[in-house]
Structures are given as structure tokens and as C-alpha cells.
Amino acid sequence: MLVLVDLDDTLCNTWDAGKYTLLRLIPFLLRRRKFKSFFYIITARYRELEQSREFHMMDLDKIVEKLLGKVYAKITPEEFEEIMDLVDRVFFSNLKLYPDALPFLQGLKEMGAKIVLITDSSSHWQRKKLEYLGIKDYFDALIISGETGHSKLDPHNFRLATSMFPHEEEIYMVGDRDDTDMRGGKDIGATTILVKRGYFKGRRPKHADYIVNDLLEALEVIKNEHEKRAKA
Ligand SMILES: [Mg+2]
């Protein structure tokens, strides 16, 4: 059995930590009279980045630099340093595993599943999160967009996962985003399980076989499917 698992907003609360970081940035920007950034944040113009393949593989400091570059002609290196410092500090002090993440990963291990993390963003940023959350050893492989050069908007990383474990025919994909996690899972014939949490939880999914409220329900789905297959 092969289980592909997404990281952000599936195992940990990335969007909540990010939202809190944005809120903490607002007084900082206003004090420095950075009104344009303030409007960029409150009008949620960052949504335009959702479909950008480039942004799905970039490091956080590069993203912030690019965003600030979009809003201002120039920003001093000192201001940039100061902003990155705040972002890093506030983000990591708010980043947490969801309480069901460890029981989920342990449950999969007990079933003898191979677990592959499949995640967008840069190598540095995703590995730093794994280090901080202390879950790296649960995975049999890590597939990170910044390392493969392909985001989850393309099927490449999902196909890479199956090519790493060619003898596994029973495949599950667990994630929070429909047009990446679920669609990519369908591309390789996986049973797809959407966890309703994080930034995308209000969207109506098109590629999910199952929609669940948390990872314990996802584990139940996998157990039931596995038993069904054993009987068939
Ligand atoms: Mg996610």
C-alpha cells in the first residue's frame, strides 16, 4: 500500500499560521507608511498566486521579495531583512501539527503502508517545516516541488511517486486541495481523499473520491478500502 500525503493544511496549519503572520505584518507596514502593501493584504490580492507554477516552487523570502517588488519599485535591503525576520518568527511560532496528524501517520505505519510526502514550495522552506514539526522520519520518500522542478499543478510529481514504488498497486492520495492533490492523485489511479481544512476548505471539489473532516476519518476510509480489496 502506498499513501501519498500533502503537508500544508493537511498535516499542519500552514494557512492559519500564514494568516496570523499577515495580520502581524499590518501594523508593521502601517508604522512604516507602507500603505500599498497593506491594501494588497486586506484586499486578498495574493489569491492571484494560486495558479502560478513559479510561486509553488519558490522559497518564502523570494516570494516576499517578489510581492514587495510588485507593490513597490524598490525596497531597501534593511526593510526587507526586517520584514523577513518578522515573517519567519511569527510564522514558525504559530505553525503546528494538527492533533490528528501523528495518530494518522502512526496508523498508516501500523498497516505497513509506504508513506510519501508530496508537497509544493521550495526545498529549504519545506524541509525547515518538517524539521520543526519533527515528522520527517515517518516518510519513505519526500517529493518537494522545489527539488523536482515541477509543481503539483502538473502530474509529474505524482508519477514520480509511483515510479519510486512500482510494485504498489493500492494507492491513496490524502490532501486538502482539489486541483492539485486530488487531480494529481486521479492521474495515477489513486483513491483520493480530501480533508476539508485550511485555505481551500470552502471550495467544491471535483476530483475527490471521499471528502472527510479530519485525518482520523481519512484513516478509516483507507482501512475500509483496504479490507474491501482484501475480500475482493
Ligand atoms: Mg495543502
Give the distance (Å) from ligand 1 centre to CA of residue 176.
Answer: 5
DSSP 37: H
> How many angstroms separate the CA atoms of 7 and 14, rounded?
9
Give the distance (Å) from ligand 1 centre to CA of residue 177.
Answer: 6
Give the distance (Å) from ligand 1 centre to CA of residue 192.
Answer: 14
Percent of the chain scored above 90 by pLDDT? 65
Cell of 53: 507554477
Q: How confident is the model at residue 166 (pLDDT cuts 50, 70, 90)?
A: very high
Average pLDDT (142-162) is 96
One-letter amino acid for residue 37 of the chain? S
Q: What DSSP line would sit under 61-108, residue for residue? A: HHHHHHHHHHH-S---HHHHHHHHHHHHHHHHHH--B-TTHHHHHHHH
> How many angstroms separate the CA atoms of 105 and 219, rounded?
9
Q: What is the pLDDT of residue 172?
A: 98
Residues 64 and 116 reside in one and the same domain: no
Residues 8 and 23 reside in one and the same domain: no
- How many domains does the chain fold into? 2
Give the distance (Å) from ligand 1 centre to CA of residue 118.
Answer: 9
Give the distance (Å) from ligand 1 centre to CA of residue 23.
Answer: 21
Q: How confident is the model at residue 216 (pLDDT cuts 50, 70, 90)?
A: very high
What CATH number does the domain containing 165 carry?
A: 3.40.50.1000
Give the distance (Å) from ligand 1 centre to CA of residue 51.
Answer: 14
Residues 176 and 88 reside in one and the same domain: no
Average pLDDT (199-203) is 86
Average pLDDT (113-117) is 98
Query: pLDDT tens, 20-68?
Result: 898 888 888 888 887 777 777 778 777 777 777 777 877 777 777 777 7
Cell of 75: 525596497
Give the distance (Å) from ligand 1 centre to CA of residue 232.
Answer: 33
- Checking if the pLDDT of 74 tops 90, the result is no
The per-residue pLDDT of the chain, averaged, comes to 91
Q: What is the pLDDT of residue 110?
A: 97
Count of beta carbons in the 10 Å neighbourhood of residue 78? 8
Residues 81 and 129 reside in one and the same domain: no
- Checking if the pLDDT of 96 tops 70, the result is yes
Q: What is the pLDDT of residue 73?
A: 63
Q: What is the pLDDT of residue 26?
A: 85
Give the distance (Å) from ligand 1 centre to CA of residue 125.
Answer: 14
Give the distance (Å) from ligand 1 centre to CA of residue 33.
Answer: 33
Residues 184 and 129 reside in one and the same domain: yes
Residues 88 and 128 reside in one and the same domain: no
Residues 142 and 54 reside in one and the same domain: no
Average pLDDT (224-232) is 92
Of the three residues 75, 94, 113, the one that is the final residue of a domain is 94
- Checking if the pLDDT of 143 tops 90, the result is yes
Residues 179 and 89 reside in one and the same domain: no
Domain containing residue 68: 14-94
